[in-house]
Amino acid sequence: MLGLLGGRQKTCEGIGRRQLLQAGGAGLFGLNLPQVLAAEEQTPFQNPRAKSVIFLFLFGGPAQHETFDMKPEAPDSIRGPFKPIDSRTPGLRISEHLPRTAEISDRLSVVRTMSHSFNDHSGAGHYIQTGHRWHLPIGGGFNVTPQDWPSMGSVVEYLTQRHPEFGRDMPSYAVVPNFLGRLQDYRVQLRRPGETAGWLGRGYDPINTRIEKRDSKDNPYFRDCADEELTFQIEGLVNHESLTLDRLSRRSSLLQQFDDGQRAITTKQLDAYDQFQRRALNLVTSAKAREALDITREPAELRDQYGRHLFGQSTLMARRLIEAGTRFVTVHYDCVDGYSWDSHRSSKFLEKHLIPTLDQALSSLIIDLDDRGLLDETLVVCLGEMGRTPKANSVWGRNHWSTLFPAVLAGAGIHRGGLFGESDRDGAYAVTPPVSPENLAATIYHALGIDHELRVPDAQGRPTHVVHNGEPVLELFT
């Protein structure tokens, strides 16, 4: 089948793809020829503000009232149990449980007006990580599907692979510590949508690491992790210590024999799977990659600063990966056994675990990047998929509220000490224009030097915009 945005392939008759398009004239798939050719010739990563992105994803929906948009003058039923403290950003009311972040708020910006209407964890998680609404309705599903939109990281992986001049010996897209949903303890194993390549093809999925729990009730985000737990193995491969070069060579040979036997029935899906396998295989045979994935190479004092819990060590791992050459790293702060940012039950876990571990990891990452001279070329994005209701329940938990929630951005030319957008007195609605997931995606692409109007081929090979109805929030940048 002819691939509109593929490489310089030829048809079985020997006619070049570009020649065929030129001969076919306008109107193919409802597009005119200049649009098609312009789509395939767009070059990414032009004049980027950021070389890399670290995307800290707080799954479950952190409460705006307990973190970055506190409302101390609101009625008792709304303002929450925590007190605001001073920060280095004028006008920023930040939680008393974010003291380290308050001390370095002059190195970051807070957006107080993120908003969308997909009030569901899976769909909202897909929306935030892709910039596109999920194709399933609210409550219509929980797991990834082949029809999902590609994540921003997968688009970065795709563009890097399509333009060899930007190639690296590290994967362009990685997810740590696990794929989203792996630790959530449901009867059926979940993999939440949003982080994969979806219809773009499995060859552009993230390289996922894997961290195990001690038992079914264990929560490694809420405790210190031993070094032997923090192996950051590649999902789908055996422990890298047992992958000798000789064994890998034999495994690769067997894969080649299988591929040869299946050549007659090769499909796009099989090709993509093989591409993903090759990326994983190359990763574990790369000395640079294996060194990057060894968290024990970091000084003990720095590891303590990030926090020895899973989120802190995974955030440090993200810094190691982008330092080694990975372009886009997502760090999931996932739900474990029902305890997460989805704080319906009470504010107890916010106070004791969730906010302090976020405070430790986020502040340490920004300081660490700045000290290494990497913050100017690394975009840090930290947010959940939704916020929480203004009115709390009787045990001081809050329910889902995607209408308003905060985001933290830093690095890559983002204003230092910035405060963007204003919410109403109850923390319910934006009173300045809200920032949509489409706007956020366009902003991230803009920082990476990717035109947010760039098109990639969908499952039918039709050029499709990576962002629909979104514009970069240029006011966030200096």
DSSP character string of 362-404:
HHHHHHHHHHTT-GGGEEEEEE-S-EE-SS--TTS---EETTS
What was the pLDDT predicted at 436? 98
Q: Is 131 within the bounds of a domain?
A: yes
> Does residue 135 belong to any structural domain of this protein?
yes
CB 54 within 8 A of CB 329: yes
Neighbours of 413 (CB within 10 A): 15
Beta-sheet strands, E only, within 180-232:
207-210
How far apart CA 323 and CA 292 sit, in angstroms, is 8
Task: Identify residue 286 by its one-letter amino acid code.
Answer: S
Helix axes 33-41, 17-24, angle to 10 degrees: 160
Question: In a 3-state reduction of DSSP, which class is residue 313?
Answer: helix
432 in any annotated domain? yes
Q: What is the pLDDT of residue 337?
A: 72
Residue at 247 is within a domain: no
* Digit-coded pLDDT (tens) for 178-201: 999 999 865 557 899 999 999 999
Residue 453 included in any domain: yes
Structurally, how many domains does the chain consist of?
Answer: 1
| Spatial distance between the Cα atoms of 268 and 277, rounded to a whole number of angstroms | 14
Q: What pLDDT, on the 0 to 100 scale, is given for residue 17?
A: 40
DSSP class of 351: I
Handedness of CA 425, 428, 429, 432 (dihedral sign): positive
Separation of alpha carbons 150 and 143, rounded Å: 14
Q: For 16, which DSSP code?
A: B
- Domain around 335: 42-232+293-476
- Residue 275 CB contacts under 8 Å (≥ 6 apart), including other chains: 201, 202, 203
Measured over the CA atoms of residue 276, residue 280, residue 285 and residue 287, the dihedral's sign is: positive
Euclidean distance between CA atoms 29 and 120, whole angstroms? 34
Residue 202 lies in a domain: yes
Cis peptide before 177 (omega within 30 of 0): yes
Burial of 267 (0-12, 13-18, 19+ CB in 10 A): exposed
Helix, strand, coil percentages (3-state) for the chain, rounded to 5, are: 40, 15, 50
Helix residue ranges per DSSP H, 262-354: 268-285, 287-292, 300-306, 310-324, 348-349
Please count the helices (runs of H) and the strands (runs of E) in the chain.
14, 15
CATH of residue 70: 3.40.720.10
Angle at 475 between CA 134 and CA 477, to 5 degrees: 95
Q: Is residue 325 part of a domain?
A: yes
Please state whether beta strands 418-420 and 108-114 pair in parallel, antiparallel, or not at all (unpaired): parallel
Q: Establish if 113 belongs to a structural domain.
A: yes
Residue 167: what pLDDT? Answer: 64
Token pair 């990281």: residue: 153
Q: Which burial class, exposed, middle or buried, applies to 140 when counting CB atoms under 10 A from its CB (0-12, 13-18, 19+)?
A: exposed
Return the pLDDT at 14: 42
Which residue ranges of the chain lie beneath pLDDT 50? 1-39, 238-245, 247-248, 250-251, 254-255, 257-258, 261-266
| Nearest-angstrom CA–CA distance, 341 and 355 | 9
Per-residue pLDDT reduced to its tens digit, 458-475: 989 999 999 999 999 999
Q: How many whole angstroms separate alpha carbon 83 and alpha carbon 43?
A: 48
